Amino acid sequence: MKVDSPIGIIDSGAGGLTVVKEMLHRLPQEPIIYIGDTARCPYGPRPAEEVKNFTKEMVSKLSDMGIKMLIIACNTATAVALEEIRSQFSFPVVGVIVPGARAAVQASNLGNIAVLGTAGTINSGAYEDAIRDISTNSTIHPLACPDFVPVVESGQYHSEYASEVVKRTLLPLADVSFDAAILGCTHYPLLQEHIAKHLPEGVRIISSAVETIRDVEGILHEKKLARQSDQPVEPVFYSTGGADAFRLIVQDWLTIEEPDVRHIML
Ligand code: DGL
């Protein structure tokens, strides 16, 4: 593995762009190859075995492209595939669940933490396990939000419709006491303006992207894989579905005017 090799980032679709955004902010000199499996998104309602297989397909492609490190920027895939991917590939692999859990435990004074995620992530119990590993006296309130990802992937995340979907989905938390909420799906930061509006005032909203990139920085230095240059590099984006819809989200969310977005077959 060479220091100038790219870092691979994967997600079921556009959600991992929230992690790319933080990468571009903190580590703009690191080359990125991103794969969004938009043709098969959402992963949330799919059986764990299927998500695992799809994840392996993306990672194999990136491995062939010679990446030096992998970020699984998808909670659903992290929940079911992280350990297996780690055991099968020689490059370092970072997931998004442990960093998010750590940030939430630090942010919560009450120890009462809501976890918003896909059905797959919530059913896996991965956040409960990660939080309990860090703090035994936390109370966790998990909530599956299956309607969020389609709103993001269809590009409607700034709309009034998105606000209504968020409001309706968060109703089960109305009578629950918590002071931190984890956005346990990388698509959800694109809905953060609505989520903040429909959660009780004062609740700290945690996106794991920031914490994840802190981990990435640490590993790059520890393994001597950090690129020795200040020159920023434009990321390359691959989408298994239509490149045009994906390009619009990249342009809006990452404010890159002419992003390099390509179609890829897995
Ligand atoms: N963005 C992904 C996650 O963090 C997957 C969402 C989905 O495809 O359902 O869980």
pLDDT tens across 59-70, in order? 999 999 999 999
The structural domain count of the chain equals 2
Asked if residue 55 has pLDDT above 80, the reply is yes
Q: Tell me which DSSP letter residue 173 carries.
A: G
- Type of residue at 74: C
185: annotated active-site residue: yes
pLDDT over threshold 80, residue 1: no
Residue 132: DSSP 8-state: H
In this structure, are 115 and 85 located in the same domain? no
- Average pLDDT in the chain: 97
Q: 229 CA distance to ligand 1 centroid (A)?
A: 33
Neighbouring CB atoms inside 10 A of 53's CB total 12
- Same domain (yes/no): 177, 245: no
Let me know whether 22 and 82 are in one domain: yes
Percent of the chain with pLDDT over 90: 98
Cα 228 to averaged position of ligand 1 atoms, centre (Å): 33
Q: Which tokens in the block code for residue 3?
A: 């220091």
Tokens of 32: 């990125």
Q: Confidence class of residue 37 from pLDDT cuts 50, 70 and 90?
A: very high
Same domain for 204 and 105, yes or no, is yes
Instruction: Compute the residue count for the chain.
Output: 266
Domain boundary among 178, 193, 208: 208
- Predicted confidence band at 209 (pLDDT cuts at 50, 70, 90)? confident
Share of the chain above pLDDT 70, in %: 100
Calculate the alpha carbon distances from 12 to 144, 250, 258 in Å: 17, 15, 22
Q: Is there an atom of ligand 1 within 6 Å of 100 CB?
A: no
Token pair belonging to 218: 């640490």
* Ligand 1 close to Cβ of residue 44 (< 6 A): yes
74 an active-site residue?
yes
How far is residue 12's CA from residue 55's CA, in Å, rounded to a whole number?
8
Residues 91 and 219 in one domain: yes
Flag whether 47 is in a domain: yes
Phi and psi angles of residue 181, each rounded to the nearest 5 degrees, phi first: -130, 125
Find the radius of gyration of the CA atoms of the chain.
Answer: 17
| CATH number of the CATH domain containing 180 | 3.40.50.1860
From 7, 116, 185, 249, the catalytic residue: 185
Looking at the predicted structure, is the pLDDT value of residue 176 above 70?
Answer: yes
Q: Is the CB of residue 15 less than 8 Å from the CB of residue 149?
A: yes
Dist. CA 178–CA 91, nearest whole Å: 38
Among candidate residues 32, 59, 72, 74, the one labeled active-site is 74
Q: How far apart are CA 123 and CA 137, in angstroms?
A: 21
Asked whether residue 1 is domain-assigned, the answer is: no
Give the residue-averaged pLDDT of 80-97.
98
Domain end (from 208, 231, 251): 208
pLDDT at 160: 98
